[in-house]
Chain A
């Protein structure tokens, strides 16, 4: 069960400080400086759309976004192309790029100290053909996600929950790790693991 498109989102802990239009210039600067991984193409601005995709840094393999869907702003990376051979490898890549991007957002001086909750991620499978939002697929995917998360969060207790019960919506899971988590340790583990995988 390997989706053709997959996203991971980390939620903002202090949404009151978000000034969405400020993300346009930040993402433009990321393009200028190749600040994040991937072929970066353009910025799409949907700050006029309530609870929409927000501001998106459009890339070739994947998009980075300050996403405001579900009324819960977060940094989201969506992998669109060049998926890895296995779901575990894809999860690994997508989590790594999401955490790195979120950490960069936290250090952006113009974004007024936005911070993220790294103990909770939303993983969404944007492929209704291979990973429809059914109880069977959820059960199968849940096991894979848990296995991945246990590694990522260094053995912490992991809980998962279906994000959308509406079967028309894409299959999406909330993944939570017990206890506080910091971005640096996640990046460290993901980077070390990436070296082994390559």
Chain B
């Protein structure tokens, strides 16, 4: 008798369209193994099912002594360019608006056990990720998810990613109305829609119920909806303020207001029209400028708006635009326990500490939201089963993930809070400090991400450990700060919108590389990610904990009455902030302190060569170090000019800094290059761009394009946004120059 399969068992339990999609994917896997599908085509197919590559899937890894070839059993078979078939990968699972049922929690726990390493990781988009998954396990994994209403479809690739929403939607005391059913309808409408299949890049959507809190961070989204109510013909009507073209990434853009009120029946057709305009006019060839933020910036919001509304008029009617609205009025979550107040029970000190940070009083009297604080967003499969039991007992299916990598239990009767706390503590999930400085957000970084440059999780773990020991005695002003860490400039850890943000980069010291983090201070999490932080400078990874102590101590000592961290950073300004970090930038000699040349949580001498192209021997290039430092200094002055509102000067200095960086690199090959901009650009292009020596494996020549664009096109209109963009681009160009110099001139003794 043939072995039973998940496909047989789950037949009829999966939505037909998802079951069919998974069968197609399984068929494509077979065709790829037979060599009948090109690896690039298969890679896009795979990514659109949320099946990502993972670090070292190119078949090589530096073990701290040498780069080793990983000889997988399937030999040369690949699942994408430079991506070995057998290499462990990451599976992303979409959780629209973060909403989870008990059944879904239990299946997720099973999958982590059977296909991954026993850990479920909550992401900054309310998704789950499983790591170290073999591609041949993915069809069954997807079937088991589909049977409980979850999908991995379009979790990656150039598609509409998980639609996020405020985790307090529906229970928030300040919300305009509950955005949950709208986010759900948008997800369903756009998933697999014909008009969302031809994007040049990914597309992220968020729903927020109010303006003031962080909620869903609509300002940093490709498309953001902010709940509004407006009086129309004497009746209160629901709708949304709609924002477009926001995004973090290498160059952060704040979203532009497309419309201050779009009635509820228009949000789906408007989204469809935006998708069509993006698909038609968005960049396709250069993926580094393919997000919608570049299209909005290029066209200007007025022209973009005109095109969208023009497109809207041409759309053929679709019943789905409004059919969901009949359910919106009926949509209501139900508690499973009566809402009694918390009274009379003697409570422990640790309960009070937890209550202060992890409990939010709902708008519905007698009920609270409990935040389960997950260390680095991780929860074990066993804990997930236990949390499902706890949900079954106290809240039912009212569970959501958050963009701060936690899980919330909604509709907890206040009278149950002490019992919930004790039960969470018993399963290792009773940590206090949710939403405070110890609750650090971090992307996967070098642990598993192919693009990671420094260990964001390693640093987050170290900071969390140190801060937790001081938590009880920490001043309130420090406790309330947010730390967010990304492993590279791509901002998956959302460092731009933290009080204290870090993103990974590297620097050369003699013949070694040293992991560093760029320090970004004073970003704003509230007001839906209201503003972005100031980049101050790069600090060696091992000095970050001491720098954090100094920064927070200075803030507490020097802050004026009720001054926020963001206001303090603004008041002191970039120069003073730079002076604070300057003592921490020194790197000891390798012989004096070899541990300094290792990243947090990794005992190997640091290198990122196993994710890039090979290295070659050379000499220590001290001249480069001196000259690139001049470029950095010029760039810093550009930042200061930007802060002071002198956009003309900011632009000029940013451009100069790029010229200085390019010249520093050229002079490693051709010392006699002149200081004339045209000569520098010509030599740079010939020696480093045309030869692709400047190209990074993943970003290609993206950052060189910033340099060429600025050289060839002096901005005619220099507003704050344009100057800010050029200054940010200059920073990325300088970072890329560092990396290129390390790669081209080599000599990493490891």
Contacts and interface: CB of A to CB of B under 8 A. Distances in A.
Contacts of A168: 106, 109-110, 385
Contacts of B5: 129
A84 B542 CA distance: 46
Given A39-B70, A51-B382, A128-B114, A25 B603 contact: yes
Given A28-B63, A81-B134, A126-B113, A41 B56 contact: yes
B6 interface: yes
B327 interface: no
B32 interface: no
Interface in B60-81: 61, 63-65, 68, 70-73
Nearest to A49: B378
Contacts, number: 102
A50 interface: yes
Interface in A47-66: 47-53, 56, 58, 60, 63
A25 B670 CA distance: 42
Contacts of B380: 49, 51-53, 69
B385 A39 contact: no
A146 to B, nearest CB: 24
Interface string B99-123: 0000000100110011001110000
Contacts of A174: none
B132 A44 contact: yes
Nearest to B375: A48
B117 A24 contact: no
B603 A128 contact: no
B385 A166 contact: yes
A168 B61 CA distance: 37
Contacts of B132: 44, 58, 63
Given A48-B375, A69-B380, A41 B106 contact: no
Contact of A49 (B65, B375, B604): B375
Given A24-B602, A81-B134, A52 B65 contact: no
A48 B61 CA distance: 25
A170 B70 CA distance: 31
Contacts of B87: 41
Interface string A119-155: 0000000111110000000000000000000000000
A128 B114 CA distance: 8
Contacts of A81: 73, 134
A169 B73 CA distance: 31
Contact of B61 (A42, A45, A50, A63): A42
B70 A41 contact: yes
Contacts of A24: 601-603
Contacts of B428: 49-51
B1 interface: no
A170 B68 CA distance: 35
Interface size class of A (residues with CB under 8 A): 35 or more
A69 B73 contact: no
Contact of A44 (B3, B131, B376): B131
Interface in B1-18: 3-6, 9
A189 interface: no
Contacts of A170: 113-114
B55 interface: yes
B463 to A, nearest CB: 11
Nearest to A129: B6
Contact of B603 (A28, A56, A60): A28
Nearest to B5: A129
Interface in B378-392: 378-380, 382-383, 385
A31 B428 CA distance: 31
Query: Which has the most chain B C-beta neighbours within 10 Å: A41, A60, A63, A82?
Result: A41
A44 to B, nearest CB: 6
Contacts of B533: none
A128 B4 CA distance: 12
B447 A44 contact: yes
- State the 7 A-B residue pairs at the shortest beta-carbon distance, nearest first: A50-B428, A25-B603, A53-B118, A48-B375, A52-B380, A32-B63, A28-B603
12 contacts: A24-B601, A25-B603, A28-B63, A32-B63, A49-B379, A52-B118, A53-B119, A80-B134, A81-B134, A128-B114, A129-B6, A170-B114
Interface of A: 4-5, 24-25, 28, 31-32, 39, 41-42, 44-53, 56, 58, 60, 63, 69, 80-82, 126-130, 166, 168-170
Given A28-B63, A49-B375, 17 more contacts: A24-B601, A24-B602, A28-B604, A32-B64, A41-B88, A48-B375, A49-B428, A51-B382, A53-B117, A58-B132, A60-B70, A60-B73, A69-B380, A69-B382, A128-B110, A129-B5, A166-B385
Interface of B: 3-6, 9, 55-56, 61, 63-65, 68, 70-73, 86-88, 106, 109-110, 113-114, 117-119, 131-132, 134, 375-376, 378-380, 382-383, 385, 428, 447-448, 458, 461, 464-465, 601-604
